[in-house]
Amino acid sequence: MEPPLRGLPCGVCVNGCRLGEDETGYCGLWVRRGSRLEPLPGPGRMLLYTYLDPHPTNCVAEPVCPGATGRGYPVYTFTPGVERGFYNLAVFAAGCSLDCAFCQNIEHKTMIAHGRFEDRHVYTVDRLVEEMLHPRVTCVCFFGGDPTPQMPMLIAAARKALRRAREEGRELPLRICWETNGLAAPPLMREAARLSLESGGIVKIDWKAWTPSIYEALTGVDGSKALERLKRNTRLIAGMAAERPEPPLLVVSVLLVPGYVAAEEVRMIARHVASLMEEYGVNIPMVLLGFHPDHLMRDMPFTSERHALEARIAALEEGVKEVYIGNSWLLGNEY
């Protein structure tokens, strides 16, 4: 599948879709209706589902999350340890700007397959804000799929929730976090990161690969364009991160896909991360994620422990100070 390239420009992500009449973007979320583009369920509406995930959560940034570690105490968390009895509101957004062969959350596609969706997945900004302000929610994490296609509405919800929290004198933190492929338009990425910066949240960018041909083989999109956007957006967020040493504003994760994302791919990503750390004087942790066979890559093995350890050593050798292995329970010994 290729991004449509004739018609009205979208501009939400790196794909640069241009939509003809009644045509849907690569992400499956934006549709041209007459002379304007609008989300699939209608103007200002989103397609997602939510659930309460107790701290400490199974979050990409768990090793540095204030709710799981106390980092940023006492400004961004109310306890020096785990915020037990409190929750992350997990917001799973339908759609994605990539078409990964290994997709680990393929329900983001089935939620909007053939342009159809269930009413229970339709959210307004106000409906989402009410859930974000649950009295025991201290983190909100937008993920999916990917939040990028619906980022304009998600940003609106985050702004409104934070404003209401201030106006109502909320005593608990309300951290805004993003788990994204990092391919959003830079103005959107900047505003998303700003909301995380002011609230104590974290932007988690999932960097698929360093080599453009590998990136393209895994994700289906132009690897060179994606890499340039990733470099631009990580630089943008690293520059903002100097305003808040703890908790780290930016975390870079890498899924260790066997046969594709080897230690040398991780090394090159880590080299870029380390260069940003040095340039801006900030800490950017990395999280290396174990792969499980899914979607079109069910014939693949789980990431091996050796693979994960080699990748971690490579990242540390390049100068990244904090390198964690996530999903360690998935690691096997098949290779």
User: How is residue 27 written in tokens?
Assistant: 């992400």
Strand partners, 180: 205
What is the band of 94 on the pLDDT scale with cuts at 50, 70, 90?
A: very high
Confidence of residue 63 (pLDDT cuts 50, 70, 90): very high
Q: What pLDDT sits at residue 107?
A: 93
Predicted local confidence at residue 168, as pLDDT: 96
Calpha distance 26→5 (Å, rounded): 10
Separation between Cα atoms, residue 166 and residue 195, nearest integer Å: 14
The chain-wide mean pLDDT, for the chain, equals 97
When pLDDT is averaged across residues 252-263 and rounded to a whole number, the result is 98
Residue 1 in this model has a pLDDT that exceeds 90: no
- What single DSSP character describes residue 329? G
| pLDDT band at residue 322 using 50, 70 and 90 as cut-offs | very high
Name the pTM for this structure: 0.97
**CATH homologous superfamily of 8-330:** Aldolase class I (3.20.20.70)
Q: Report the share of the chain in percent with pLDDT over 90.
A: 98
Mean pLDDT of all residues in 17-28? 96
pLDDT number for residue 58: 84
Who contacts 296 (Cβ-Cβ below 8 Å, separation ≥6)? 101, 102, 103
What is the pLDDT confidence band of residue 330, given thresholds at 50, 70 and 90?
A: very high
Tell me the average pLDDT across 282-292: 97
Query: Look-up: residue for tokens 């933190």?
Result: 173
Residues contacting 232, CB < 8 A, separation 6+: 186
Task: List the domain boundaries for the chain.
Answer: 8-330
pLDDT tens string 136-181: 999 999 999 999 999 999 999 999 999 999 999 999 999 999 999 9
Alpha-carbon span 61 to 64, nearest angstrom: 6
Residue 48: is it exposed, middle or buried by C-beta count within 10 angstroms (0-12/13-18/19+)?
A: buried
The predicted model gives 45-62 an average pLDDT of 95
**pLDDT tens-digit map of 200-252:** 999 999 999 999 999 999 999 999 999 999 999 999 999 999 999 999 999 99
